[in-house]
A = this chain, B = another copy of it.
Amino acid sequence: MANKNIISNANDAAPSLIQSKRQIERYNLDVDAQAVLVAARLMEAGSKLGHASEIHFSRFGLSTGRYRLLADLEDNEGEELPSQLAEHLGVTRATVTGLIDILERDGLVSRRTSATDGRQRSVVLTEQGARKLRDMAPEHFARLEAMVGLLSVEERSVFLDLLGRVTQGISALTDEPGKVKEHIRKE
């Protein structure tokens, strides 16, 4: 039954302004539909980017988290404590343990127990780990650059500014109930 939707976009069902408007009007709420649309689009972009990122790094036998761990190690003279890594990457220590397990199994990092504090086990970037980063750098950064290639230099600045403010606003989703209004901008 030739069911081929002409607009059968492979996977993007981007939320539309109409959609947001309908959802709001259904309950007679006093909310700006465009604001809701921004939230919906950003959420969609984030999940899409997260997925694409995993595909990207899997080309090199890594995941997003494991790459970020290696890169952070490289930024810190090749040695860090798991707790430092957790803070830098914005994940829990438990997650870091798992990332290290696999990276160590693959020979990209190694664990070393501290002489001064028996609880600490610092993580060291191996020669093989450094080589992995070196080998993937050209393609990795070229792809990142291509990703924002549709924006001019000035537009990138603007985007960074706006994205930064929206990122601040994310806490409105997690704040305790009374606090939500504080995010509204005085106009």
C-alpha spacing A184/B180, complex, angstroms: 40
Copy tally for this chain in the complex stands at 2
Q: Which of B22, B48, B145, B165 contacts A36 (CB 8 A)?
A: B145
Is there an interface contact between B50 and A43, defined as CB atoms closer than 8 Å? yes
Is there an interface contact between B150 and A56, defined as CB atoms closer than 8 Å? no
| A115 contacts chain B at the CB level, 8 A cutoff | no
Interface size class of A (residues with CB under 8 A): 35 or more
* Stretch of A96-104, A105-113, A118-126, A171-179 contacting B (4+ beta carbons < 8 Å): A171-179
Q: Which of B12, B13, B155 contacts A162 (CB 8 A)?
A: B155
Is there an interface contact between A170 and B45, defined as CB atoms closer than 8 Å? yes
CB neighbours (8 Å) of A41 from chain B are: 160, 163-164, 167
CB neighbours (8 Å) of A174 from chain B are: 52, 55-56
C-alpha spacing A173/B163, complex, angstroms: 20
- Minimum C-beta distance from A177 to chain B (A): 7
C-alpha spacing A139/B12, complex, angstroms: 28
| A61 contacts chain B at the CB level, 8 A cutoff | no
Is there an interface contact between A13 and B88, defined as CB atoms closer than 8 Å? yes
| Binary contact readout A50-82 vs B (1 if CB under 8 angstroms, 0 otherwise) | 101101100000001000000100110000000
Is there an interface contact between A50 and B46, defined as CB atoms closer than 8 Å? yes
Q: What are 21 A-B pairs with beta-carbon distances under 8 A?
A: A9-B90, A13-B87, A23-B137, A26-B74, A26-B137, A31-B141, A31-B145, A35-B149, A35-B156, A36-B141, A43-B53, A44-B167, A45-B166, A46-B47, A48-B90, A53-B173, A55-B173, A146-B182, A147-B170, A151-B162, A159-B166
